[in-house]
Every structure is written in structure tokens, then in C-alpha cells.
Amino acid sequence: MTTGATAGDPVTSPDRAAAPPEEGGAARARPGGHRVRALMSRYGTIIFVLGVMAYFSLSAEHFLAAGNFKNIAVAVAPLAVLAAGLTVCLVAGDFDLSIANNAILAAVVAAKVGVENDTVLWAFAAGIATAVAVGFVNGLVVTKLGVNPFIATLAMGLFILQGLGFVLSDTGTISSGMPEGFNSLGNDSFLGIRLLLWVAVGVLAVLWAVLNHTELGRRMDAVGGNPSASRLAGIRLDRTRIAAFTISGLCAGITGILIASEFNLANANGQGTLLLDAFTAAFIGSATLSAGRFHIVGTAFGALVLGMLTNGMTLVGVSSDYQSIYKGAILIGAVAFAALGRERR
Amino acid sequence: MSEEAVDHGISRRGLLKLGGATAGAMAVGGALAACGSDDKATTAVVVRDSAAAGNEAGSSDVDLRSIARGKSVGVIVLNAAAVTQGRGVKELNRIAKTTGWNIDVFDAANDLNKVPGSINDFVTKGVDVIMPLVVPGVVLGDALKPAEKAGIPVIGVFTGPAPGMKARVEPSEFISEAKIGQYVLERMDFEGEIALLNWEKIPPLIQRGAQIRTMIKQFPAIRIVEDLTVEVPQIEDSKAKVSAFLPKHKNLKAIWCGWDEPAFGSNQALKEAGRDDIFVVGCDGNLETFDAIRNGEPLAATAANDIELMTRIAVRISDDVMAGRQYPVVTTVDSPFVSRENVPEKGQYAQGVVTPFWTGS
Amino acid sequence: MTQQTFLQVAGMTKAFPGVQALDDVDFEVRAGEVHGLVGPNGAGKSTLIKILAGVERQDAGTIRVAGEQVELHSAEDAWRHGLVFIHQEPQLVHRLSVLENITLGVPRARRAGVLLDWPAIRKQAQAVADRVGLDAPLDAEVATLGAAQQGLIAIARALLLDARLLVLDEPTAMLTDVEIQRLYGVITDLVADGVAVVYVSHRLEEIFQVTQRVTVMRNGCVVTTRRTADLNGEDELVALIAGQAVAAVDVAPSARTRPVLLRVRDLCGPPRVSNVTFDLHEGEVLGLTGLVGAGRSELAMLLFGAERPTGGTMELSGETFAPRSPADAIGRGLAFLAEDRRADGGVMTMSVRQNITLSNLKALRASRLFPFINGRRERQTTNDLIRRLSVKVANPDGTLAVLSGGNQQKVLIGRALNADAKLMIFDEPTHGVDVRSRAEIYRLIGELAEQGKAVLVISSDLKEVIDLCPRVLVMREGQLVADVETPDESKLLTHAYGHRPRHVQAALVQEA
């Protein structure tokens, strides 16, 4: 699926007597600054973000430090995993609105299994397995029952999964009797780098490889780009979409485990703003380095941008009244910068 | 207002004093003068430097004149726009002006997952103390550990316990609800029908619910005819639910609500249905609730959390911790029972009463 | 009919990175004339058109409309000067109705200057719809209509826009002969009113039928501008365009004696296909024609597994063939090239390379265990095919969208070849393809047949069908009504219509 205008988009605005098909392999451009515009479209977001970082560096003495950047990365590690799974879904042309609640359910399952059986590894496995199953079911509902993915995953996430989380956790929280070592993944480090970060980078790397270098990734790319043409080219749409949802579920499961381990408890009400943040990260990513297409590197960048904004504003001491306003404005600015570089239609 | 000296370090005496203070507070509840600000010399208590750190039992204020200057606080709230949290932040900012303290507020925007990151950021920034405000401790888990590791004390205001918290200041939901429950039982004459509206998914509300249920259980003549869970939007939903069940219960005497918003909604429903034979109780002490109580509406009573006082105590304790003095690990600020007789003036909040439990370091 | 210059382009120059699209081009169109514009891909026709449409800006050169120099910065500018453009893929909003599309962007009648006067608008829309021969109801959703009717909607809209110069880009690509005649009628009316028409087409017979002058472009330059009547038939025009003589296409002889590859018996399916029976032999090029709406594409969908048949059987190389999805069909060796390249053919957002390998990703596997794509193998395979098919592409890793129609079609053929297809179904293979590429595609089809593959060519272009296919099936209203061994136009038309309409007969006579 793509955002924004892409070359070859046949539906146009009313007053445009649209152009005949192109000849030659050149990008469309206006005179003077064709190159600048192309650069803006690819790097505009990055440039804008660098500008914001410069401001933070100058206004807060602790911002520009390796330790601080590590903190930023660690803070958004769970989000990055969640958003990466979502990205896979978006590439295949679908929406998954159940990811946040799926992650929380995975956390609840892991905590419950962990407490009742005094195990860590099986607890994590149970949590992740639950989330994968949810993703798979989402895929089935969307392909075999033909339900609109927006509705299907919304209903699944907001209602079914949320409810399940409360039922399983009884009071809403599972925090006492957590098994020894449950919080290791979320709090310990390896070679000086938090395990959270290792996992996030690992997941991102694997998904990047899947999307860009495997058959499955290619199929998802095609289905997202043109389902009808893909079908006629022999791609099995259903299988590909189910795979996308399952991967999204898997990432949600991993995210849930990371969060549960970090806090050393499961909170059935803990989805916070994860859903919206994941989408934001993916969309920022689509405005970076690519012409409106979703991709893993961009999503990782988007997650880091979100983390950096929160961190920067805390260090600078921006009043909490204004924080969300500034955040929104900066996000719009970053994406708009890239949009300026794209051909105005 | 009984002013009794607290000999810190002796927890049992403190507890006895608690009982005395509570009874005293209730007895003199009617004599509580309305006040929202603490700029009144009569209620200021001078703390003896040599002895007690921590606040004296039974006092309704704490002296901040002697605290160190220029410290920085990292406050964490879940939603700075919420009434309770907003009151706390406002009070901190007011304190900051006279003490030269720097207050940084991190608004997690209802996303608990941002809390660990904010702790790390405050550590990076080098704040002197971290103050979670109305963030439920039960869901913080290991999140506070980095602060502990960095040697930055965490003082919780209205949070409940969490690992890594050096001290906390909060009301006791059981105590608040005991007072309200007593009122309900008496007014119902220990028999009749009552409806419960609550959302028993977070510890404060679970505790309030547990308290009222235990009290009701003692009197079999009292029957719970409705036991509902409130959904968002709180006021509209409770109003709708009450309007729906009213016709079913001709003999209903009381509606108990876990906090003020559904009490407000129930109040509206009762007014519209003209059922002034039923009374409603809430808990928390919002200004709207006071208005209703003052006007003699069905909403008759609540327990008023004195967030401002809690915040001031937290600041005081922070100062003590940083100076290496002793301090109470738990300070309970009683939320006074508020009904028609002692409801504050319009626009004012009610004043709490301090009860430290035990000291430690 | 005044013959004053309406549009004057002088010294038009435009370069894109790596290619000089236009080099000092002069182009002049007179009011009331139909001016043909021809040339192979890369000649610069579309760039010139785009500049006139306000979508591109020239590097140098001037444009004069009715003697006045103008700057065209946007589509609105072009339209305001009376320049209206209609191109081969109608740019309509598919979810809206016919009425809404016809009046899209057209200043509409209003009551009291504010409220839209729908009855008046409907009347206007119906008037122009009738004029162009559009018989679809005004409230029909455009997505449900065929390409031919969509094209007519675009032309109807142009009429409402009060065009003074109308540029038609491949207008007849999706039209049948009857509809083409209708269009000529509309054009004749327009020029009688003094409108200038620029007619861009690869169909040279149409150039001769309808234009007064024709400009030939090649490699960004104008080769010549001549009066159509002065030309010595299509051959001379082709010689001017290609700069060389174009070899006649050699078609494989009838393959009836070869083994049957696909046996179709009594095939029925949605919406109207019923009792279709035919055989397709190895090494055969079989044509399938009929009027728009006859059910040709629908039959193709059934053969290809994109739709489920409701009755009948199919056998492929003697074994039952009942594909439940295109993937099944491709697995058995079928390939399909859709009528609408943009919607059903290419994935525009993926690269040329990726499009070529899309039907056969398994072959790119690096190793049996890991489903990773071997980039080098992909590059080799695709480079090979690109060369074989003479696909003109500057960067095979760039998106498919930037290629011209003809080259996109070749890429899709490449995809089918890459999947080792034994039976290829082409639906309108040369729609929107220039002369050179068209010849190349015909040659390819011939080669495929020689290699023993079976090719089913669905086309509305009777000339093409006759040139290519020694045997032609004709469909009418969902049924297979004829299996013609030595096809000619009148035979095919007779079967397609069920009778021979008089004015088409007249046109045929005129052409002969």
C-alpha cells in the first residue's frame, strides 16, 4: 500500500486534463531545482529532524550524549518492534488495529503462565504463541470471511483482546509472585547494551531481510502495490495476507513480552498510546527515504523520532501543557518537508 | 484541631495517635474552616529541627520555609489535565515560586509505557528527586529501579506502593471509605436497598469497593440491588444506567459511587426523575460535588482528597531525604468527610489531616 | 472553415536527465483542421503534449494560442486557453457516476449563483453524451463500464469544456469500428465548428481517414509536416516514422494438425458466457474477437482461473484442468496479459525487474532451505529478457510506471516468458503501443508459436487479428458463434454483429 501520490496513479483531480503516458525514464519535475526537490522528497524528513535535534542539543546540556541516545533507543525499543510488525502489514496493503491490545494480552498471558508455573521461558513462549494465534485469526477473518481489515482488527483488538486481558488478569494487574528472572530481558544488558535493544534490532533486521530479500516479502510488496495485478500474476493473495497478519501478531507478542519483562508485571490496561504511536512511526517512515512507501528502516527512524521528541522536551524542560502541541507540530513539519519535495498535483 | 507531638520512631504510638486524630477530625469536621490556600499562620506548624523529621500527626499543614533552595523535581503524571493531577502540579509550581525549586512535569499522556523512559531522562537531566503523581504504583513494577540505581529518591504522591519508592504520601482509601460508609449506614438506618456503581479495575477503586462491601455485609438488612461497572464517558454512562434502573426500585434508599464522577451522573439522574428520597455518595472531593452538596441535592457526601497538602508534604519529605534526615516512609493524609454541614465555600477545596505512619530512611 | 493558425509552437526544447526529449520543435495547428501526430516511442510526442497540457514546462521555446503568447503552468491554464486533452487511459473517477464524470471540473449551471441546477446539468450532460454515442445511463457508476464507454465519457466532457483545441491521444484504442465511425462523426462536427484537433495515434489507417495534415516526429525532432493527401499511402508514412522499411510480419501457418493443448467444452460462467467449445493447439496463434461486451475477456478469466465456471469442462494436455485461482493456472503453464495494464497488469510501484520475475519467484531461490531471493540470478534473468524483448528502459530497477505503454507491455510479456508459460492469453496486446513495438510484439508472438507455445490473442482490432491469426474465434453476447479458418474483416464483422451494418460496409469499401 502506498501513501501519497505515486507515479502511475490514474485517479486525478478534476481540473487536470492529465498528461499522456511518459516517454523515457525521467522523473517529473518543474524547472529549476529538480534535483533539490528529489532530495527533499527523500531526505526532507531527516533534514528536518536533524534541525530539531540541533535545537535540542543547544537547549539541553545532556542531549547530545551517547548515553542519552542509548536511552532514547531503549525507550522506543518495544514500540519499534510493534511498528515493524505493523509495517509488514501495511506493505501488504492491510491495516492491523489490534496490535496494541494483542501485545498487552501477550503480556498478561506470559505473566499468568509465569506466576502459575514459576517459569520464564515457557511463559514468554506462551505469550508470543497467543499473539501469533491472534494474528493468524485476524488473517483468516480478513481473507476467508472477507471482513474489512480495519473493522476486523479494530473489533478484535479493542473489544475481544481487551476483554480477554481483563478476564485473564482478574484485577487488571498481575504483579505478585513473578518468577525469578522474568524481568531480566527487560532490564539487563549484554555487552553494555540493553537486551531490549538487542531484541529490537534483531527483529528489525529479520523483518528487513524478509521484506527486501525473500519471496514472501516480494509477494507482499506486490499485493500491497496492486492486488488485482498480483493475483493475475499468480500470487496467492490470501496466503500472503495471512502471513502479513501473522507476522504483525508475532511482533505484537514480542513487544508484549518486552514490556512485561521491563515492568516485571502485566497490566491489562497498559496499551497506552502504543497503537497510535506505531502508526505514527510507520507513517513518518513512509515519508522518509521513499516515495510514500512503507519500509522497515523508515519505521525504525520514525520510532526514534518519537522517542527523541519526548526525550528532548523532557531534557529541555518544555512545559507539559505545550508538549503535545509541539510534538504534533514537529511531526507535521517533518512529513511536510518531504511532501514539499514531491511533485505537487 | 488536636495538635499532638509525634515521637518519631515509635510506630505504635503513631497508630494510636492516628485513631485519635481520625476521631478528632470527624468530631471537629463540622468546625473545619473553608480554606484552599495555606497562607494562614494559625494552621502553620513549626517543626522542631532536632527531633521529628516528617510531619506531625493531626496537623493540617507543613512548614516549607526552611527547606533547601534551588532543588529540581521531576514530576511524572499520567494526564496533567485530570483534576487531581492538575491540582498537584499547580501546587508544586506555586511552591516552586517561593522556594526556587525547579519543577519539570512529564505528562505520560495515559501511556504507562513512557514512564521508564521518563525516569531515565530525569536521571540524565540530573534532577534531585522524582515525584510520580497519581501514577498507580501497582503498575509501575520495576520501572523505578533506574532511579534507585542512580541514587535519586522517588517520592510518590497518591500512588500506592511500588518497588524503589523511598516514601509516599497518599490518602487511605479504606479510611476515606470507612467514613463515607459510616454515613451511608447511619443514614440508611442499617437497612434497605442500595445500588453500587464502581470500576474495580485499579487499586484505589478496588479498595474503596472492598471497604463498602465489607461494611454492608455486616448488616443483612441492607440489600445491594444493583452492582454496576461504570464505563466511559463516566458521567453520561452513570446517569444513563441510574435512569434505567430507577423505575425498577421503588424502595431504593442510596446510591454508592466509587468516586465523584459517577456520583455526579447519578445525582443528575435522580434530579431529573425527581427522586429526592434517594441520596448519593461519592469520593474524591471535586468542586462540582461540593456544589451539589452545598445546594442540598441528592449527592450528599464525599471524602475530600487534599492533594495540595499531600504535595507539600512530599516536598518536605524530599528535602528531608536529600539532607539525610529521617523521614516517614508512609504519610497518610486523611481526606476529610464532607457533607452539607462542613462543605467548603464555592471554589475552595477541603483541608486534609496528616498522619505519618512510621519513619525510616 | 477557417484555416487560421490556432496553436503555434516554436523552438520547443526540453531535456530530462540523460535524454533530450524535444529538440527545437516547431508545431502548428490550424483552426478547423485535424492534425495527426505520429512517431515511435521516445519521439517526444507525449512530452510535447504534456507541455501543452501544462504538466511540464519547456526549457526553451514559445507557445502561441490564437496569436497570443501564453505561459502554461498548470492544467487549468491549458484548459482556460481552450486546450483540452483526452488520452488513451481515460482519467475518470471510477466511483462516481457518468454524470458526475462528464461534468467534472466543468463550470456547472447554478440557481441563484449558489445551488447546482441539476436538471439543467443533466440536460447538458445528456446532450453531449448523445452526441458522442454514449448509451450508458447517466447514473451508472463508471467503474462498471467498459473502456470504450469510459473513453466516450472523456470526450463528452471535452465537449462541455468548450475546447478550441482538442488533443486526442490514441482515442480509438478501446473502440470498435462502429464506435470509431461515431467518433469520426464527432470530430467532423467539431472541426466544422472551427475546433482544431490534434490526433495522436499509432493506427496509421486512421491518420489517413481523418486528418488533413500529419506531423512525424522522431527522437525529439520533427521529421516533417505534410498534407495527408500528399502522402503515398501508409507505406510512405511508416517509412517516414521508422526511418526504415518495416518488414512484413510472418505468421505461422495453420496449426490444426498439431496436438491439442487446451480443450474447452461447453464452458459457462458469469456473467453471460455460455457453452463455449473450442480447441487450442500447440504452436497455434488463435484469435478471439467480437464487439465490446461480447464476453471475450470474461472467457479469458474463466480459462485463466480468475473466475469459477458454472458449467463445462477444460482439459490441458489431456488432463483435467479446473484452476481455482490464477496461481493454479500459472502453475499449469498458463499466462495472461490483461487488457488494462495499469489496473490488472503491472505493479506500478515495483521495479521493472521485480515485475518480470513476479510470476516465478520460486526460480529465484538462493537455496532450497532459505526463501531468499538470489539478486544476481534475478538480474541475469531479467537483463536477458529485457534484451530479448528490446525493452527500452534506462534503469531496470526503477519503477514500472515510468516506462511507455509499449515497453510496459513487453515487460509483462517478459513476465509470462519468465514463468515458462505454455499457453499465453493476450488481451489487447498492442493497445496503446507504438508501431515499432507493435511489430516487435507480433514477431514475438510468431516466435512463441514456433517454439510450440499456444497463443490466444483477444483483440478488437480486426486488422491485427487477421494479420496475426490464421484462425479466429468470434464471440457474440457470451457465445462462441464462429470459428473462422481464413478470416477477413467482413466475415468477422458479420459474425460479430449477426448481420452486416450498412455504414460499416461503406467504410470497408472506402478503405479497400
Chain B residues with CB-CB distance to A169 below 8 A: none
Q: How far is B118 from chain A (nearest CA, A)?
A: 7
Chains B and C touch (3+ CB pairs under 8 A): no
Q: Are residues C26 and C101 in the same domain?
A: yes
Q: Are residues C367 and C435 in the same domain?
A: no
Amino acid in position B46: V
Residue ranges of C 43-62 with Cβ closer than 8 A to chain A: 43-47, 49-50, 53, 55-57, 59
Q: Are residues C30 and C173 in the same domain?
A: yes
B294 sits in which H/E element: helix B287-294
Nearest CA in chain A to C44: A23
pLDDT tens digits, one per residue of B114-160: 999 999 999 999 999 999 999 988 889 899 999 999 999 999 999 98
Residue C338 lies in a domain: no
Chain A residues with CB-CB distance to C87 below 8 A: 18-21
Q: What local confidence, expressed as pLDDT, does residue B357 receive?
A: 57
Number of alpha helices (DSSP H) and beta strands (DSSP E) in chain B: 10, 13
Q: Cβ contacts of residue B102 below 8 Å, gap of 6+? A: A317, B70, B71, B72, B73, B96
| Strand-pair partners of C27 | C9
Give how far the C-alpha of residue A82 lies from the chain's centroid of Cα atoms, to the nearest Å. 5
Q: What local confidence, expressed as pLDDT, does residue B355 receive?
A: 66
Q: Are residues C109 and C209 in the same domain?
A: yes
Residue C295 lies in a domain: yes
Of C364, C385, C419, the residue that ends a domain is C419
Q: Are residues B126 and B197 in the same domain?
A: no
B148 sits in which H/E element: helix B145-150
Q: Are residues C105 and C153 in the same domain?
A: yes
Tell me which residue of A220, A217, A214, A210 sits closest to A241, measured CA to CA: A220
User: For the sheet containing B102-107, what is the strand order?
Assistant: B102-107, B72-77, B129-133, B155-157, B167-170, B327-334, B353-360
pLDDT tens digits, one per residue of C423-451: 999 998 888 787 778 888 888 888 888 88
- Per-residue confidence at C371, pLDDT binned at 50, 70, 90? confident
Q: What local confidence, expressed as pLDDT, does residue B359 receive?
A: 53
A278 sits in which H/E element: helix A274-286
> Which of A17, A218, A224 faces C373 most closely, judged by CB atoms?
A218
Residue with cell string 478550441: C164
Interface contact C55-A12, CB threshold 8 A: no
Q: Partners for C (CB, 8 Å, 3+ pairs)?
A: A
Q: Assign C57 to helix, strand or coil.
A: coil
Of C222, C242, C262, the residue that ends a domain is C242
Q: Count CB-CB contacts under 10 A for residue A171.
A: 14
Q: What local confidence, expressed as pLDDT, does residue C17 receive?
A: 67
How many Cβ contacts (< 8 angstroms) between chains A and B? 106
Report angle CA C241, C247, C250 to the nearest 5 degrees: 140
pLDDT tens digits, one per residue of A157-210: 989 999 999 899 987 889 889 999 999 999 999 999 999 999 999 999 999 999
Q: Are residues B53 and B76 in the same domain?
A: yes
Q: Are residues B99 and B221 in the same domain?
A: no
Residue C352 lies in a domain: yes
Residue B148 lies in a domain: yes
Chain C residues with CB-CB distance to A231 below 8 A: 306, 325-327
Residue A63, pLDDT > 60, answer yes
Q: Which grid cell is C58?
A: 519547456
Q: Does C350 touch chain A (CB under 8 A)?
A: yes
Q: Where are the alpha helices (DSSP H) in C389-455?
A: 405-418, 435-450
Residue A4, pLDDT > 80, answer no
Least confident of A145-154, C244-253, C302-311: C244-253
Chain B residues with CB-CB distance to A173 below 8 A: 138-139
Please report, rounded to a whole number, the percentage of residues in chain C having pLDDT higher than 70: 90
Q: What local confidence, expressed as pLDDT, does residue A10 receive?
A: 33
Q: What local confidence, expressed as pLDDT, does residue A224 receive?
A: 94
Q: How far is C106 from chain A (nearest CA, A)?
A: 8
User: Where do the domains of chain A lie, and which CATH numbers do they carry?
Assistant: 34-341 (1.10.3470)
> What is the number of domains present in chain B?
2
Q: Partners for A (CB, 8 Å, 3+ pairs)?
A: B, C
Residue C94, pLDDT > 50, answer yes
Q: How does DSSP assign C138-207, residue by residue? A: TTSBGGGS-HHHHHHHHHHHHHHTT-SEEEEESTTTT--HHHHHHHHHHHHHHHHTT-EEEEE-S-HHHH
Interface contact C21-A229, CB threshold 8 A: no
- Per-residue confidence at A131, pLDDT binned at 50, 70, 90? very high
Q: Does A176 touch chain B (CB under 8 A)?
A: no
> What is the number of domains present in chain C?
3
Residues spanned by the domain of B240? 173-303
Q: How far is B162 from chain A (nearest CA, A)?
A: 11
Distances in whole angstroms, Cα of residue C370 to Cα of each of A215, B289, C357, C359: 10, 66, 18, 19
Interface contact A259-B120, CB threshold 8 A: no
Q: Are residues B123 and B65 in the same domain?
A: yes
Q: Are residues B116 and B254 in the same domain?
A: no
DSSP state of C398: S
Contact (CB, 8 A) for C267 and C314: yes
Residue B337 lies in a domain: yes
N-terminal to C-terminal alpha carbon distance within chain B? 29
Q: Are residues B45 and B114 in the same domain?
A: yes
Q: Are residues B279 and B336 in the same domain?
A: no
Q: What local confidence, expressed as pLDDT, does residue B51 receive?
A: 25
Q: What is the mean pLDDT of chain C?
A: 83
Q: Cis peptide before C271, with omega less than 30 degrees from 0?
A: yes
Residue C340 lies in a domain: no
Q: Are residues B222 and B351 in the same domain?
A: no
Q: Are residues B329 and B282 in the same domain?
A: no
Residue B51 lies in a domain: yes
Q: What local confidence, expressed as pLDDT, does residue C286 receive?
A: 93
Q: Which grid cell is B158?
A: 497518591
Calpha distance A130→C270 (Å, rounded)? 42
Residue B109 lies in a domain: yes
Residue B3 lies in a domain: no
Residue C292 lies in a domain: yes
Of B268, B287, B303, the residue that ends a domain is B303
Q: Which grid cell is B322?
A: 536529600
Mutate to test the interface with C, among A11, A28, A232, A241 (most CBs of C within 10 A): A232
Of B257, B286, B303, the residue that ends a domain is B303
For residue C170, with 0-12 CB atoms within 10 Å meaning exposed, 13-18 middle and 19 or more buried, which class applies? buried
Q: What local confidence, expressed as pLDDT, does residue C121 receive?
A: 86
pTM for the model stands at: 0.73
Q: Assign B338 to helix, strand or coil.
A: strand
Q: What local confidence, expressed as pLDDT, does residue C336 receive?
A: 93
For residue A80, with 0-12 CB atoms within 10 Å meaning exposed, 13-18 middle and 19 or more buried, which class applies? buried
Nearest CA in chain C to A226: C347
Q: Are residues C191 and C273 in the same domain?
A: no
Of C388, C419, C450, the residue that ends a domain is C419
Q: Are residues C286 and C308 in the same domain?
A: yes
Chain A residues with CB-CB distance to B109 below 8 A: 272-273, 324
Residue B218 lies in a domain: yes
- Per-residue confidence at C4, pLDDT binned at 50, 70, 90? confident
Residue C106, pLDDT > 50, answer yes
Calpha distance B299→B276 (Å, rounded)? 10
Residue C98 lies in a domain: yes
Q: What is the mean pLDDT of chain A?
A: 86
Residue A32, sorted as left (phi over 0), alpha (psi -120 to 50) or beta, turns out to be left
Q: Cβ contacts of residue A226 below 8 Å, gap of 6+? A: C343, C344, C346, C347, C348, C349
Q: Are residues C31 and C163 in the same domain?
A: yes
Residues spanned by the domain of C363? 348-419
Q: Are residues B135 and B235 in the same domain?
A: no
Q: Are residues B16 and B157 in the same domain?
A: yes
Q: Which grid cell is A27?
A: 522523473
Residue B1 lies in a domain: no
Comparing C56 with C423, the larger pLDDT belongs to C423
Q: Which CATH number covers residue B62? A: 3.40.50.2300
What's the mean pLDDT in C377-404?
A: 89
Calpha distance A345→C74 (Å, rounded)? 9
Q: Cis peptide before B203, with omega less than 30 degrees from 0?
A: no
Q: How far is A221 from chain B (nearest CA, A)?
A: 32
Calpha distance C351→C397 (Å, rounded)? 5
Calpha distance B242→B265 (Å, rounded)? 8
> Which of B114, B125, B201 faces A315 most closely, judged by CB atoms?
B125
Q: Are residues C487 and C431 in the same domain?
A: yes
Q: Partners for B (CB, 8 Å, 3+ pairs)?
A: A
Q: Cβ contacts of residue A214 below 8 Å, gap of 6+? A: C370, C371, C372, C373
Residue C118 lies in a domain: yes
Q: What local confidence, expressed as pLDDT, does residue B28 receive?
A: 35
Q: Are residues C145 and C88 in the same domain?
A: yes
Least confident of A120-129, B14-23, C89-98: B14-23
Residue ranges of A 243-282 with Cβ closer than 8 A to chain B: 259, 262-265, 267-270, 272-274, 277
Q: Which CATH number covers residue C153? A: 3.40.50.300
Q: Which residues of B touch A (CB under 8 A)?
A: 77, 80, 89, 102, 104-114, 116-118, 120-122, 124-126, 138-143, 145, 200-202, 206
Residue ranges of C 295-314 with Cβ closer than 8 A to chain A: 304, 306
> Which of B104, B107, B138 faces A175 most closely, judged by CB atoms?
B138
| Strand-pair partners of C12 | C25
Calpha distance C269→C273 (Å, rounded)? 5
Q: Are residues C212 and C88 in the same domain?
A: yes
User: For the sheet containing C479-484, what is the strand order?
Assistant: C334-337, C423-427, C454-458, C285-290, C471-476, C479-484
Nearest CA in chain A to B111: A272
Q: Does C143 touch chain A (CB under 8 A)?
A: no
> Which of A78, A172, A263 faces B141 most closely, judged by CB atoms?
A263
**Blockwise average pLDDT, block size 10, chain B, 361 residues:** 36 43 38 33 26 47 80 91 87 89 90 93 94 91 91 93 90 92 94 94 89 96 94 91 93 94 94 92 91 93 91 91 87 88 85 64 42
Comparing A41 with A53, the larger pLDDT belongs to A53
Residue B4 lies in a domain: no
| Strand-pair partners of C83 | C165
How long is chain B?
361
Calpha distance B232→C103 (Å, rounded)? 47
Give how far the C-alpha of residue C153 lies from the chain's centroid of Cα atoms, to the nearest Å. 16
Distances in whole angstroms, Cα of residue A101 to Cα of each of A71, A85, A283: 25, 14, 20
Q: Are residues B21 and B125 in the same domain?
A: yes
Q: Does A319 touch chain B (CB under 8 A)?
A: yes
What's the mean pLDDT in C114-125?
A: 83
Calpha distance B23→B179 (Å, rounded)? 10
Interface contact C361-A230, CB threshold 8 A: no
| Strand-pair partners of C85 | C167
Q: Are residues C255 and C317 in the same domain?
A: yes
